Each structure stands twice: as C-alpha cells, then as structure tokens.
Structure 1
Amino acid sequence: MVRRSAVAIALLALVAGVSPFAAAGSAAGTAMPPNPYAGPDGTWNMHGDAGASDTTPFAGPGARPSPAQPVTLPAVCPTILSGADGMVQALCTEYVDRAPSLYLLDPTTLLPVARRHLSAGSLLGGVYAYIDDESRLVTVDGSGSLLWLAHSRSLLGWSIDVEREVPIPLPDGDAVTTVGPGYDANVWFATAQGRAGYATPEGDVVTTSLGAGEEKVANSISSAPSGVAVTTDHATYLLRADGDADEVETVWRQAYDRGVARKPGQLSHGSGSTPTFFGERTGADLVVITDNASPRENLLVYRARDGREVCRLPILTDDSSGTENSPVAWGDSVYIASTYGYPYPAQATEDAGVSVPAEADFVGGMERIDVDEQNGTCESVWRNEVPSAAVPRLSRGENVLYTVTRRGIAPTWRVARIDPADGELLSETFLGLGPLANTLQMVGTILPDGTLLQGTLSGLVAVRR
C-alpha cells in the first residue's frame, strides 16, 4: 500500500534502560540488550527501541510542565528522534509536494539549523526511519535507495549530507516503507507489496516475498537477538538472515483474523500493530500484535523463539475495539489504545479499501492486559475512557504512561499522564487548540532532559519541565 496514512499524508547514551531521572517508583521490567547498530534507546526510532516497546528510560515533563512551545514547520512531523550527539532530527512530510524532509533542530531552542529535502516515494518511507550508532538518520527516498544522512557543522553552519546510499532493487509499483537495524549488522526493510529483506554492511541486498506476493506491509518492523519481526495485513513473521545461502529465512509465520474490511480509525485492512517484543526474562521472550477481528479485535501473544501462541484476548469494548497503534509492552504488561473512529483526513485512506462501517464516533479508551507465559493466559487488568490521540509512551523512569487527549468540537489537545497500575488519569496539560494542533495518533519522543516532543499537523510541539 503506497498511500496509507494520515500521518504520512497530512503528514544518552543509556544502554540498559536506566534513567538519570529515575524515581523510586520506576517501572519494573527487563530491557532486552540494546541494538549495537542503533542510537540510544528511547530516542533512536519512533517506537523507542529495537523491540518497538514504546517505552523510554527517561522521565517526562511531569504534571506541571512549562507552557507548550509550538515549533511551526510547513510539514507534518511524525518522526522526531535524537542520537547520541543530542541533536534533534525530525523527519517530516512537506505540505507542498508530500515529500519527506529531514529537519535538524537545535536541542536548546528547537529552531531548525539545517534541512535536507528528499525525493518523494512511498509516503511511509518518509515516516519509518531510525538513527544509527553514528547519529546518522537511515531512511529511504523516492529512488528506492537506502540513505544514511549525516549532519555536520562548519564555519558556514550546519549541513546534512548523504554519506552512504544503497539501491534496493524492486519491481515497479513497490516501495520500501520501513527500515530498521538488525542485531546481525544488517539493515532490514519491508515493502508496500509484501517483500522483506536486508542490506549487508558491504552493500549486498537480499529480499524475499511474504505470503506468495499477496500480502502488504503497512506498519513498522522490530528486531531482537532472535530475529526481525514483520506483520503484514495477513500474518506475523520472524525472519533471519541466512548468510551462507544469501537468503531470508522464515523462522515462523502466524496468520491472524484480518476481518472483512478496514475499520474506521484504522488505515489498512489488517493489523494496525508494529509487532512488539517484550517479556520478563530477557525483554524479548514474547511478540505481541492486535488482529482485525470483528466485532472485537484480539490481542495475540506469541513465543518469540518458535511462534507458538501463548494466549489471545478480545480487547477494549464493542464501541472501541480497533487500533492503528503499536502496543506498549514492558515486563508482563501490554497497553492498548483505541483509535476506532478516529477522524483522519478522508483522502488518507483512499488506497486502503472501504471502511466497515463507513464511519463511527471516536470514543477512545485504553486497556492494560497482563500476560502469564507459563500458564498461557492473558488477563485484562483495567480499562479507562481516555481519548488517546497519540501512540502512548511508557516513561519507565517516571512509571507513567504519556499520551495526548483529543476533546471537544474545536478540538482541544492536552498532554495526559496515566497511572499504568490502574489506568487513572493523573494530569492533563494544554498542548494546542484547533485542527492545526492535531496529533494524528503520532508518537511523542521524550528526551533525556524530560522534554516531550510531539508531532502535529503543523510541525511539532515541545513540552518542557
């Protein structure tokens, strides 16, 4: 699916998950080993770490932050990252040509100091990128090439340059939608038309088709020492590189119920999840997704090593059971936010098939599910009615879930803090008013100093302590 999301269209070095701002109430759990080919956990990719846990070791801005600071750009900014050097890198989709641009922002003022415009291709190619261990942004452009974008400063100021480029040969009509680093030193990718593969450090490229060419990839990928997880619109896979045969090895495949059609508030006919690694022992014992079953979607948990289903559980309520967001997972707990009925721009889903029903009210709601791998059970711990308008982020240093709420006709957007123990709404802080402040279910990034950077329809907003 080359045109998919409202996000795209409208569009430190802590290595073990320990925060300098950690409090006595820090979330208990195990972080899997950091990916040595990526930047610092918490800020190097959209979902925080290699396993897409949507957690961060850093404490956020807290209950009484400074007033929100808008950073207006002529673009939608779904991907706001930071590497080991502390510079903020925002990959944004421009209004004029819907092509991605990388903005380099001063971490103190948050003003742009450099910009690199890229050629338009798959719109998701301008969303799912990451920062590597040398603070370079790794992404893909309209030519179909992987790019390593490095920034530097001279007497003339800051600049962004293409330091490395590796072409990805694909058939006409296909495009890379997501890239990520494997623990095997390869750069992995998936494509709109259901291909997956990797580029080696030497520049060799290996690809395979998933599901006999009948599947599509509309979400990000994740990785762990055991392999790379990819969820298509039909199934979830664990893949590895077979270096001896120069092939992509499918370790396991698990099909899921993709439903009869796309649901309102979802952007593809299938799972809205990036597959997420989690678990109490190693931080990567299990993989979790949500399916697209009707009337209620299921949380599906698999054993990472062999794909065996551990448990499944219907999620949310009859009026809210649908999500386009990646699960948040830490320890033995998974947190799901409903996007059912979320009002994305109409043109955002023109290639995703019809929605059934055609429309629905956005009522929101979140749920926590605890997983007992030994007994093979999933148990709902709480549900709330928080109308989450962003991918939630669990601050492990603060033991608080951060998201953005959408309320009222105008509407009004507020940063929300939620207690992961019982789902209680702890605080809300004004973020913005009206359609230009729309957070479009994008994820916020928390920097080591506690600053929350949240993408919006008109650039981004910073919320500081």
Structure 2
Amino acid sequence: MRLALPARAAVIAAATLLALTAATPPADGAADGFGPLPPHNPYAGPDGTATMHGDTGSSDATPLPGPGAGPLTSRRVALASACPTVLVGSDGYPVALCTPILGQMPTVHLLDPATGDPIAELAVAKGSLLGGVYAYLDQLDRLVLVDGERSLLRIGHRRTAAGGPELYVASSLPLAGAVPEGDSVTGVSPDWQGRVWFATAGGVVGTADERTGRVRSVSLPAGERIANSISTAPGGTAVATDHATYLLTADADGTPRIAWRQPYDRGPGRKPGQLSPGTGSTPTFFGPATGTDYLTVVDNAAPTVNLLVYRASTGAPVCSVPVLRAGGSGSENSPVAAGNSVFVASTYGYPYPKLPEGAGASVPASGDFTGGLSRVDVRADGSGCDLVWDNRTRSAAVPRLSTADGLIRTVLRQPVIPFTTATSLLDPYYYAEIDPATGSTVRTRYLGAGFLYDTLQMVGSIAPGGVVYQGTVTGVLRVANG
C-alpha cells in the first residue's frame, strides 16, 4: 500500500548574513539551452530523484525546479547520522540512507514530505565506510542496495494494520558467490533489461537477475579498485576504477563484457580532499542528441586535473581540458552534465573527518580548501571542448543542475575569517543558487554554522514542490519556499 501525502506544514526560518544577501534568480526557462537528460530507466524511480546523482546516467541534473523566487526557509532534521543519500519516490516520500555516528549501522529513514521528519526507520547489516552509500529507488519506490552481508535488498514502505508507516525488506538476493569475503559493493544501478549491475571495491563488476536468481560477474585487471558508483545507459554500464574508465555490456545470460577501456592520468597519489587514489568521479553520461552521447570523468593529474570526455559508444576521446585552475585542482565529486555542458566542483583540501580504510596518505600531505567550479562545453560538432568559465566557488556539496529553472544549486562553506582559505568547526554554511551561464552566485540562504551543518561534499536532491533535501554529517537539511 502506498502512503498518502500529508498536508504541508510550516518550517523554521534562519537568519541571512548581510554579506550574502539574496538576489533574484534567473527566470524560468533560463536552462533551455541544456539538451536532453539521460533517457528514463524503466526499472528506476522518477528522473532527478531516483539515484544519488539524479538518474541512472548520473547526470546530477534534474527536470524538477527548485525553490522559487520567494522567501526561503530552512530546517535541520537531526538524525545523529551522516546522510549521503536522500531520494524521493513517485509517491513524494523522501527516503534517506544514513550511517549513524554511533555504531555506524546503516539505517534507512522514511521522511515526512511536509517536514522532513523521520516517520519510520530500518537498520541493515553494516559494511564498509563506502559500502551501502550508493543506492537507488526502483519503479515501485523501493530502495535497492547491497548490505554488509553482501545481499541485494529491496526495501519498501507501507502502512501497518495499525495505520502507521513502516519500512520492510521486500526481497533479498545473496551476492556472496560473486562478491569475495572482505570485499564490499560500492555501487548499484539497473540496466534496461531489469538486471541490477553492481561493482565492488576490489574491482568485481557483476549483474544480478532477481527473476532467475542468476548472478554473473567479471574481475577487472588486478590492482584496480572502485571507490565510486556506477552509471547505466541503454548502451552499457560505465565504471571508473583508480586506473581507467570502462564501458561494459552483458551477454544474454548477464555475464559482463568489457566494451572499451580508457586509462587516465592517476597522478602521484590521493590528493587532499579526496577519499581514494585516482578519479573521484562517478562516470557521467550526457549529450545533446540522446542524453548519453558522451561519458565524462575527472582524472587525478597533478598539479591540474583534466575533464575527460569520451564518445560513449566507442570510448574514442573527445577532449581533455584542464579544469579547476582558479581554485584547488582536485575533485571527489561526479561531474554535472546536460546537453553539451559539464560542470566540475573542487573538493581539494576539504576536511573530511574520516577516510576509508586503505585511503593512504595524501600527496601533498595537506592543502587548504580554496574551492573551485568550472564549466566546460563540448563543441557542437564534437571536435573538442572549451573551458567557458572557472572560479573559486567554495562548494561543500555535489552541485545539482535544474533544467527546469536554469539554476545550479549547492551548499557553500565559507571561512569564519572572510577572504581566507582556512576551515574550522565554526564555519558557516549557505544554500546557494548559481547561474550556469556565468558561474555567479545569484542567491544564498544561511543554513547554520558548525559541525552539525557540514554537508561533507554530499549531494542535494530537489523534490517535487521545489523542496531541496541536503544530507549532512548529522542528518538532513530541508530548504523550501515558506
């Protein structure tokens, strides 16, 4: 039984600093120049809210508009957990996948769409720091993830006999035969045949067909590891290891096959503000014709990283463009892309409170969080790419582009002492809207200051009704007109 949406409730307002006063955002339709988003996956939930990166192509773009030009309100929903994944189903209910500060047992929260308050929760088996972070909603609004026991779960929500909401495990399929003991699944995504693709930290890529129970897998070259999620399109599944970018397809029985492989400059080591060596990108499909014409990642070259664009069907290079030159040149974030345009945010020097096991020392040993945001456009004839603008925006979240209202939304982490690059536990955070044509910040709203509001380079989701849900290290922020 689907849950009915309750009436909208009032939310709590916070103060705005004079130095970052609001400006009127561009009018609706300002994003008309951005081409199609990746095609809808019939085995995923609504476009824009079905995956951490919006869709199974990981565009980090959405067809939904964000808050309008009126006054903004913000509300912190305290969950005592880091919440990197907040998705919204076709029924309007947000579902958050969080890791509690104490115990670190991954927990799924069903949220009230009117307030963001938790109304049901379900804990799942604990895995690694990265395991279980990436999940998606299927076409029935069930959360699909792999737990710490290496089982593929579908978690639905319904009303109990007493009338209250509950989360429950609708199905479970063991993957232990394909995922080695001690390994963990870092990403899952459905393909157009209804199979679930998965990738592990140890470099295993596989498919699971729950209709037959068949699980098939392949190991990528020895020594290659996967620290980010995967992306699916009608033409195949994209995976980025710490050495190369891949496109894989599947045989009739689901056995993965490598269609192409492109190595990249992995640099001398993990940069400050990254969680693993090599690229920090979940591969992003984008393009002006089908929405999946191209595939892009950011390499780890030193001192300046490059945006790499390939033709998705063949792996042929389209361009390599130095980005994030004005600020810190390193990124843990997936590129944002739509049409011919790609946006890259810097995470160089971001002070993560904890790193994954095996992350190793960074090279250099430390660095300031200077910020950085770049836009690159692929030429109309596909002959190359051009850097459109490059600035020092201090984005503390993965940006999200709305093709409906023509704005990029993110959270800014500003220094306590203006005009410095230092970070502290007292830093203030601001919801921000950015004009993609110029890179200028056009509107902000103060969210709060200190550790409780740290968005930790996590992704915000735009829900129907112009509501933004943004994960933090201690819960979820809800931003809306009010």
**1:255-311, CA deviations, whole angstroms, 9 ceiling, x for partnerless residues?**
111111000011111000000000101100000000111111111100011111111
Aligned residue type for 2:88: S
- More displaced 10-residue stretch of structure 1: 56-65 or 349-358: 56-65
1:377 matched to 2:393? The reply is no
- Report the counterpart of residue 306 of structure 1 in structure 2: 314
1:166 matched to 2:173? The reply is yes
Cα distance in 2 for residues equivalent to 1:319 and 1:306: 33
Task: Give the match's secondary structure for 1:280.
Answer: coil
- Report the counterpart of residue 6 of structure 1 in structure 2: none
Cα distance in 2 for residues equivalent to 1:75 and 1:31: 32
Aligned residue type for 2:314: D
- Report the counterpart of residue 422 of structure 2 in structure 1: none
**1:390-438, CA deviations, whole angstroms, 9 ceiling, x for partnerless residues?**
0000011110000110012320000111100111110111111111100
Cα distance in 1 for residues equivalent to 2:182 and 2:77: 35
1:45 matched to 2:55? The reply is no
Task: Give the match's secondary structure for 2:130.
Answer: helix
- Report the counterpart of residue 30 of structure 2 in structure 1: 25
- Shift >6 Å, 4+ stretches: none
- Report the counterpart of residue 320 of structure 1 in structure 2: 328
Q: Choose the corresponding residue for 2:230, options 221, 226, 232.
A: 221
Cα distance in 1 for residues equivalent to 2:382 and 2:197: 34
- Report the counterpart of residue 236 of structure 1 in structure 2: 245
Change (3 A) 1:247 1:361: same
Aligned residue type for 2:215: V
1:64 positional shift: 4.3
Contact in 1 for aligned 2:326/2:390 (Cα 8 Å): no
Aligned residue type for 1:73: L
1:61 positional shift: 1.4
- Report the counterpart of residue 283 of structure 2 in structure 1: 275
Cα distance in 2 for residues equivalent to 1:234 and 1:318: 26
Q: Give runs of aligned pairs for residues 293-372 of structure 1, distance below 5 A.
A: 293-317=301-325, 319-345=327-353, 347-372=354-379
1:94 matched to 2:104? The reply is no
1:373 positional shift: 6.3
- Report the counterpart of residue 15 of structure 1 in structure 2: none
- Report the counterpart of residue 209 of structure 1 in structure 2: 219
- Report the counterpart of residue 446 of structure 1 in structure 2: 462
Cα distance in 2 for residues equivalent to 1:132 and 1:350: 30
Contact in 2 for aligned 1:384/1:423 (Cα 8 Å): yes
Task: Give the match's secondary structure for 1:124.
Answer: coil
Q: Choose the corresponding residue for 1:458, options 453, 467, 474.
A: 474
**1:203-231, CA deviations, whole angstroms, 9 ceiling, x for partnerless residues?**
210011011x3111100100110000000
Task: Give the match's secondary structure for 2:73.
Answer: coil
- Report the counterpart of residue 192 of structure 2 in structure 1: 183
Q: TM-score, normalised by structure 1?
A: 0.92
1:27 positional shift: 3.5
Aligned residue type for 1:124: L
Cα distance in 2 for residues equivalent to 1:197 and 1:27: 38
Task: Give the match's secondary structure for 1:123.
Answer: coil
The Cα RMSD (Å) is 1.5
- Report the counterpart of residue 135 of structure 1 in structure 2: 141
Q: Which runs of 5+ in 2 are unaligned?
A: 1-26, 417-425
Q: Choose the corresponding residue for 1:391, options 382, 385, 398.
A: 398
- Report the counterpart of residue 410 of structure 2 in structure 1: 403
Task: Give the match's secondary structure for 2:448.
Answer: strand
Cα distance in 1 for residues equivalent to 2:106 and 2:79: 13
Residue identity over aligned pairs, in percent, reads 52
- Report the counterpart of residue 19 of structure 1 in structure 2: none
Cα distance in 2 for residues equivalent to 1:451 and 1:95: 26
Aligned residue type for 1:464: A
Aligned residue type for 1:454: Q
1:349 positional shift: 4.3
Cα distance in 2 for residues equivalent to 1:188 and 1:349: 23
Cα distance in 1 for residues equivalent to 2:212 and 2:130: 26
1:234 positional shift: 0.6
Aligned residue type for 1:194: G
- Report the counterpart of residue 63 of structure 2 in structure 1: 57
Cα distance in 1 for residues equivalent to 2:31 and 2:311: 26
Change (3 A) 1:375 1:398: closer
1:55 positional shift: 0.5
1:66 positional shift: 2.9
Task: Give the match's secondary structure for 2:262.
Answer: strand
Q: Which runs of 5+ in 1 are unaligned?
A: 1-21
Task: Give the match's secondary structure for 2:28.
Answer: coil
Cα distance in 1 for residues equivalent to 2:80 and 2:359: 26
Aligned residue type for 1:399: G
1:319 positional shift: 4.9
1:432 matched to 2:464? The reply is no
Contact in 1 for aligned 2:106/2:125 (Cα 8 Å): yes
- Report the counterpart of residue 77 of structure 2 in structure 1: 71
**1:165-195, CA deviations, whole angstroms, 9 ceiling, x for partnerless residues?**
0111222221111111111211000001001
Cα distance in 2 for residues equivalent to 1:317 and 1:271: 17
Cα distance in 1 for residues equivalent to 2:71 and 2:431: 10
Task: Give the match's secondary structure for 1:108.
Answer: coil
Cα distance in 2 for residues equivalent to 1:24 and 1:141: 41
Task: Give the match's secondary structure for 2:308.
Answer: strand
Change (3 A) 1:428 1:318: closer
Contact in 2 for aligned 1:295/1:318 (Cα 8 Å): no
Contact in 2 for aligned 1:365/1:387 (Cα 8 Å): yes
- Report the counterpart of residue 104 of structure 1 in structure 2: 110
- Paired residues, number: 442
Q: TM-score, normalised by structure 2?
A: 0.89
1:48 positional shift: 0.3
